[in-house]
């Protein structure tokens, strides 16, 4: 479904490659963690999958297509098969939850009737039932990320890319997000998630590809995070009292240290332009209800919710420019209809 063949990537003006001779294949339905220190090449891999960057050497196949053969004009259509979630959520601040999720469907020309059915379904799936009319600022960080996930999967992409999706969230909230991602994966969506969160990677026992200075140093089917000594400390300090626990749907109980940590700095240059998806068979809507975090709109801000600070200047782009960033429009010329055959057969 995703195949890297001897991929090297050297950005212009840099002296050493960001990726060097990276080869791997992710099968349909897999959940793959991309781990490694900051600068090891995780986001570069995700951007290459989206065709936001081109490899300097090697070939990438995604959904049966050689990315080198997709013309720029067709890239937005290609990207509709791939949902993307970022560390900083990137919601439209002046739209409700419903409107944020509906937005991507509107841009790709889905009918009103379709949108009216699809949005509530996906909001329920991510645990935001009853919050459709909230504004983003009325939501906790975890809820905002759930909206972003709902937006990323509402038109059932075959692949979901997540670039440090829990990087701005405290551990308990992150566990809820991981539950949602697990459920989406259980519905058949292939997930590639870049992360620093050793705890989840260790607990979830999914495939782990570890990068170090642009090279794969580990590829394990049911891995853990591995040696964390070289990786910046992102785990919170141990809780002073008995730690709370969170049950993942895998049945794994994750200890949760209480206080929030500082948000990880996210250089704007590191964040790929967003994307948007399309057809997948499996709907992940039949899953059990998650337990969403308490929202500040429900009352007092809970201890486990850290206010979201947005340093990123591109966090609130104008809507149409967001659509372009989301890969939904081809330079503003995109209509509603498109040919699904643009994307090759599922492998
Ligand atoms: P990670 O996501 O693991 O932190 P990245 O893929 O963002 O790693 O970066 C890998 C390397 O490529 C780093 O050395 C980074 O500085 C460099 N890099 C990433 N994006 C660019 C860019 N647009 N231009 C130049 N260098 C870049
Ligand atoms: Mg990164």
pLDDT tens-digit readout, 30-50: 999 999 999 999 999 999 999
DSSP per-residue codes, 273-286: P-------S--TTS
DSSP character at residue 268: G
Helices (H), 90-137: 97-107, 112-125
Please give the distance, rounded to the nearest whole angstrom, from the Cα atom of residue 120 to the centre of ligand 2: 31
Mutate to test the pocket of ligand 1, among 17, 270, 314 (most ligand atoms within 8 A of CB): 270
Residue 9: which H helix or E strand, with range? strand 2-9
pLDDT at 321: 54
Quick one: how many helices (H) and strands (E) in the chain? 8, 12
What is the pTM (predicted TM-score) of this model?
A: 0.73
Q: Where are the beta strands (DSSP E) in 80-169?
A: 82-86, 159-163
Distance 16 CA to ligand 1 centre (A): 10
Closest ligand, as measured to the CA of 209: 1
Between 343 and 152, name the one with better pLDDT. Answer: 152
Q: Confidence band (pLDDT; 50, 70, 90) for 227?
A: low
Q: Which ligand is nearest to the CA of 164?
A: 2
Q: How far apart are CA 104 and CA 276, in angstroms?
A: 7
Angle at 289 (CA atoms; ends 285, 290), nearest 5 degrees: 110
- Determine the residue of 8, 20, 39, 46 to mutate for testing ligand 1's pocket, defined as the one with the most ligand atoms within 8 A of the Cβ atom: 39
Distances (CA, A) of 55 to 63, 67, 69, 91, 272: 17, 10, 13, 29, 15
Residue range 88-156+330-347, CATH number: 3.40.50.300
| Burial group, residue 278, by CB count within 10 angstroms (0-12, 13-18, 19+) | buried
Task: Work out the burial of residue 148: count CB atoms within 10 Å of its CB; fewer than 13 is exposed, 13-18 middle, 19 or more buried.
Answer: buried
Cα 193 to ligand 2 centre (Å): 10
Q: What is the pLDDT of residue 64?
A: 96
The pLDDT, as a whole number, for residue 26 is 97
Torsion of CA 60, 63, 67, 73, to 10 degrees: -160
Write the pLDDT tens digit of every residue in 101-148: 999 899 899 999 999 999 999 999 999 999 999 999 999 999 999 999
Tokens 């329920």 map to which residue?
124
pLDDT recorded at residue 137: 97
pLDDT at 327: 54
Nearest protein CA to atom 5 of ligand 1, as residue = 41
pLDDT for res 202: 83
Ligand 1, CB cutoff 6 Å, lining residues = 11, 14, 18, 36, 38-44, 269-270
Q: Is residue 288 exposed (0-12), middle (13-18) or buried (19+ Cβ within 10 Å)?
A: exposed
Closest-CA residue, ligand 1 atom 15, reads 39
């Amino acid at each position: 479904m995703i195949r890297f063949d001897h991929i090297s990537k050297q950005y212009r003006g840099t002296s050493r490659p960001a990726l060097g001779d990276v080869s791997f294949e992710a099968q349909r339905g897999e959940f793959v963690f991309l781990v490694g220190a900051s600068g090891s090449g995780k986001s570069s891999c995700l951007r290459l999958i989206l065709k936001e960057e081109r490899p300097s050497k090697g070939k990438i196949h995604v959904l049966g297509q050689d990315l080198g053969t997709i013309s720029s004009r067709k890239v937005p259509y290609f990207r509709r098969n791939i949902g993307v979630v970022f560390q900083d959520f990137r919601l439209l601040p002046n739209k409700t939850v419903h409107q944020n999720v509906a937005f991507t469907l509107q841009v790709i020309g889905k009918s009103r009737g379709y949108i009216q059915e699809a949005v509530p379904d996906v909001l329920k799936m991510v645990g935001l039932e009853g919050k459709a009319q909230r504004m983003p600022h009325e939501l906790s960080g975890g809820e905002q990320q759930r909206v972003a996930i709902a937006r990323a999967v509402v038109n059932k992409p075959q692949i979901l890319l997540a670039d440090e999706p829990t990087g701005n969230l405290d551990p308990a909230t992150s566990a809820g997000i991981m539950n949602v991602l697990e459920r989406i994966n259980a519905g058949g969506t292939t997930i590639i998630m870049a992360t620093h969160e050793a705890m989840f990677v260790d607990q979830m026992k999914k495939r782990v590809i570890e990068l170090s200075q642009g090279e794969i140093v580990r590829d394990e089917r049911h891995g853990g995070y591995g040696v964390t000594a070289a990786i910046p400390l992102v785990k919170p300090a141990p809780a002073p009292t008995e730690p709370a626990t969170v049950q993942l749907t895998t049945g794994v109980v994750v200890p949760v240290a209480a206080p929030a940590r500082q948000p990880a700095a996210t250089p704007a240059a590191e964040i790929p332009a967003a994307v948007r998806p399309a057809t997948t068979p499996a709907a992940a809507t039949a899953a059990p209800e998650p337990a969403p975090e308490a929202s500040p709109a429900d009352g007092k801000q809970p201890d486990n919710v850290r206010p979201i600070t947005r340093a990123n200047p591109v966090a609130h782009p104008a809507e149409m420019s967001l659509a372009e960033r989301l890969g939904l429009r081809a330079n503003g010329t995109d209509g509603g209809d498109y040919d699904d055959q643009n994307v090759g057969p599922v492998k």
